[in-house]
Structure 1
Amino acid sequence: MGRNLQTGETGARLRPVDLARVHGLSTQAVRNYEEAGILPAAGRTPHGYRTYTSLHAGALRAFLALVPGHGHPTASAIMRAVNEGSADQALHLVDESHAQLLDDRQTLRAVERALRDLDAPGSAPRSGSGETFIGPLAGKLGIRPATLRKWERAGLVHPRRDPRTGYRVYDEADVRDARMAHQLRRGGYLLEQIAPLIAQVRAAGGPEPLEATLRNWHDRLSARGRAMLAGAAELDAYLRERG
């Protein structure tokens, strides 16, 4: 008896091509997913050919649904954890992705607030409060200090030097610029694209130069959130099928 891979109806054993065809994949991709632990280990015929079941089809649907919201590495890790019997670890990885999305939303709101504060040239001058050094700032952003030094060379941030120690000192405006650069880099922007945007903000040109970019950030975050919901539904279905 045949099987509907979209509805999950049970039936005969499935070949790699049966799984691949539904999603427009190659049979090699299906085998690669199995070898990576994204799919459970396949059964074998007496002649050594792989055979799959509805469980494998559910795993493939879950993985492909997870990728848009979580990215390939995290989606792979989630599926490996489930297939190794560590559902709690899989859910922990899901939680981390949601926490990252929330952090990205908060960063975007912080950028928008910072831009609103720049509406008028000559607005509040830099204060001495809120200053930090390269290590703590890098840790807060989840990047390496070398990345901040690279951004400095590209003109994205302009920390001053402590006259006694020579250490880089980042004030509130520098932190704002670094957060903006980090968010833009996450969105796929190149350093040479980011530099003029931050320069415009730094020159107190107002939020207008970044309005289209801000709308794009909102759209990207909303799309990720929706994709995570879709991925969660397929992952839940797979967990239920595994029992």
Structure 2
Amino acid sequence: MLRAQRALLLIREETRAAGSAEDGGTLTITELAGALGVRPSTLRFWEQEGLVAPERVTSQRARRYPSGAVAQARIVAALRGGGHPIPAVRRIMRSLEGFAGPQEAHRVLRHRLERIAARSVALLEAGADLAAVLAAEGVAAPEPRPGGR
């Protein structure tokens, strides 16, 4: 399954859970970073970009992540892991917060997957055209490398 498709499934799961979950404990930035497999600086960057909204507590303004912010971070991590750039993630996160909700996020992600599929087809066609030109010129096509790279 594509990483982007996994991100879609995660969004669906997180939005369902957010609607029904009771607010339990909170996580520190270090705890959440560890759970997501990212650095704390990544979470701070996502906060600067408006993708995740932790609470600020104590006189030192320490970040605490309640269940809603944890869900946001999980969605952002899945989207970034799926190769989505920050502007696309921002649009998706805003659509989840707004009236459009998860349906708009799914539409945005489906559109991106369609664009990726179209680009992939174009690359395959270009490769086939190039192989035909090489064959017509009598040049042997290079052998594929292991792993397709």
Match of 1:174 in 2: 69
Q: How many residue pairs end up in the alignment?
A: 113
Matched with 1:111 is 11
Within a 5 Å distance, the mapping from 1:46-85 to structure 2 comes to: none
User: Normalization by structure 2: what TM-score?
Assistant: 0.61
Percent of residue pairs bearing the same amino acid type: 29
Q: Which runs of 5+ in 1 are unaligned?
A: 1-68, 70-100, 221-233, 236-243
1:199 match: 94
Q: Which amino acid aligns with 2:12?
A: E
3-state SS in 1 of match to 2:50: coil
Q: CA deviation at 1:211?
A: 1.8
Give, in angstroms, the shift of residue 175 of structure 1: 1.0
Instruction: Kindly indicate whether the alpha-carbon contact (under 8 Å) linking 1:157 and 1:174 is maintained by their aligned counterparts in 2.
Output: yes
Look up the SS of the partner of 1:195 in the other structure.
helix
Could you tell me whether the CA contact under 8 Å between 2:93 and 2:105 is conserved in 1?
no
Worse-matched range after superposition: 150-159 or 173-182: 173-182
Could you tell me which of 31, 35, 50 is aligned with 1:136? 31
The answer for unaligned runs of 5 or more in structure 2 is: 118-145
Select 2:105's aligned residue among 210, 227, 235: 210
What TM-score do the two structures reach when normalised by structure 1?
Answer: 0.39
Contact 1:162 1:169 (C-alpha < 8 Å) held by counterparts: yes
1:214 deviates by 6.0
Deviations 1:15-70 (A, max 9, x none): xxxxxxxxxxxxxxxxxxxxxxxxxxxxxxxxxxxxxxxxxxxxxxxxxxxxxx9x
After the TM superposition, which residues 21-100 of structure 1 pair with which residues of structure 2 at under 5 Å, given as runs?
A: none
RMSD across aligned positions (CA): 3.2
1:160 Cα offset (Å): 1.0
- Measured against aligned partners, the alpha-carbon deviations of 1:96-131 in whole angstroms (never above 9, x if no partner) come to xxxxx8xx95x754421223457xxxx56x854141
Aligned with 1:169: secondary structure?
A: strand
Partner residue, 1:156: 51
Q: Which AA in structure 2 matches 1:180? A: I
* Aligned partner letter, 2:101: G
Q: Which whole-Å CA distance do the structure 2 matches of 1:111 and 1:184 have between them?
A: 9
Query: Deviations for 1:183-203, whole angstroms, at most 9, x for unmatched residues?
Result: 111121111111121012123
The answer (yes or no) to whether the contact 2:26–2:66 under 8 Å persists in 1 is: yes
The one-letter code sitting in structure 1 at the alignment partner of 2:64 is V
- Larger Rg over CA atoms: 1
Q: CA separation of 1:142/1:179 partners in 2, compared to 1, >3 Å: closer, same or farther?
A: same
